[in-house]
Amino acid sequence: MERIRVLVQTSDPITRLGLTELLRATSVLDLDGDGEVDVVLLAEDRIGKGQLGALWRARRSPDGRGPRGVLVTRHFDPGDILVAVQYGVLGVLPAAHVSAERLVSVLVGVTQGRAYLPRHLQAAFLDQLHHLRCDRLAPRGLTFGDFDARELDVLNLLAEGFRTDEIAAKLAYSEGTVKSVLYGLVTRLGLRNRTHAVAYAIRTGALRAEACPELGRPAATS
């Protein structure tokens, strides 16, 4: 296994010593210097936005990507999970359940793009994403992916088998507007046709997302 470069961050000298010795005893390399690292391992009894800010600063790099983050902690507020993920955290391990084997597995896994979150944090993350999409993005006609809210409305109905005139009636658009929306997204994304657009939206998960409450968008004209 390729050696993983890890930076241990903790305010407790005993914790630092224990983690450092643990990592040195495995195929994972602990790098406590100024060189590039693959993973920042942040271990604190309680981790909040202040500690996550330190992790964000540690992630800064010339290419803007930086290392992944793994947290080992006894107390983590589920309300901070979205911020943590934005700061590069892919693993959160309860301190009481950490073993050498588990820690090494997570450190290796996050470098491969895997995520390790307890079930309650997974639920909190999905709930926060839903509220962000519905409360912040959707009212502004925005989404997480390649489609805006109006395009998703049209694609959802197209996927259900409705014709463009029926879609126009359901959305209170003109048929010309519906055709313009479809032409615009097909052209922008380099897709072949409407069927390809629906397939692409399904494949990327855009049409499987949980629906937001109806926003009562105003009618549009072409």
pLDDT for 34: 59
CA distance 182 to 204: 17
Digit-coded pLDDT (tens) for 45-91:
999 988 888 777 765 555 556 788 999 999 999 999 988 988 889 99
The tokens for 121 are: 């944090």
Q: Comparing C-alpha atoms, which of 22, 9, 10, 6 is closest to residue 99? A: 22
Digit-coded pLDDT (tens) for 106-130:
999 999 888 999 999 998 987 887 7
pTM over 0.85: no
Q: Where is 170: in which H helix or E strand? A: helix 164-171
pLDDT of residue 2 exceeding 50, the answer is yes
The tokens for 117 are: 């979150």
User: Topology of domain 5-118, per CATH?
Assistant: Rossmann fold (3.40.50)
Sign of the torsion formed by the C-alpha atoms of 146, 207, 214 and 134: negative
Band (pLDDT 50/70/90 cuts) for residue 43 is very high
Among 65-69, 165-169, 188-192, 203-207, the minimum mean pLDDT is found in 203-207
Mean pLDDT for the chain overall: 82
For residue 28, which phi and psi values (nearest 5 degrees)? -90, 130
Could you tell me how far CA 172 lies from the centroid of its own chain? 34
Domain ranges of the chain: 5-118, 138-203
Strand segments, DSSP code E, in 35-170 are 39-47, 68-76, 89-94
Q: Where is 180: in which H helix or E strand? A: helix 175-188
Sign of the torsion formed by the C-alpha atoms of 24, 28, 29 and 31: negative
> Architecture of 138-203 per CATH?
Orthogonal Bundle (1.10)
pLDDT for 218: 39
pLDDT for 133: 74
Q: Which residues pair with 5 in a beta bridge?
A: 29
| Edge-first strand listing for the sheet containing 68-76 | 29-30, 5-9, 39-47, 68-76, 89-94
Among 8-17, 132-141, 161-170, 192-201, the minimum mean pLDDT is found in 132-141
